[in-house]
Amino acid sequence: MSSQVRLNSLQTYQLLLYRRALHPEHFNLKGRRTITHGQYELESWITPGGHVMRFKHDGFCTSELVTEQEGGVPMDGAVTSFLCSGEHEFEHKFAPERVTYMTSVQTETLGENLFAATYDEMVDFAKETGALIHRWSDVDGGKNLSMLDVQRLAKEVHAQAYHLLAHGGVVVRTQTIFEHR
Q: Where are the domains of the chain?
A: 3-180
- Tens-digit pLDDT string for the chain (181 aa): 333 334 456 678 999 999 999 988 888 999 999 999 999 999 999 999 999 999 999 999 999 999 988 777 889 999 999 999 999 999 999 999 999 999 999 999 999 999 999 999 999 999 999 999 999 998 887 999 999 999 999 999 999 999 999 989 999 999 999 999 9
pLDDT at residue 72, rounded to an integer: 79
Stated pTM of the model: 0.92
Closest CA to 61 of 116, 23, 103: 23
pLDDT at residue 10, rounded to an integer: 67
For residue 130, give the DSSP letter. Answer: T
The values of phi and psi at residue 168, to 5°, are 95, -10
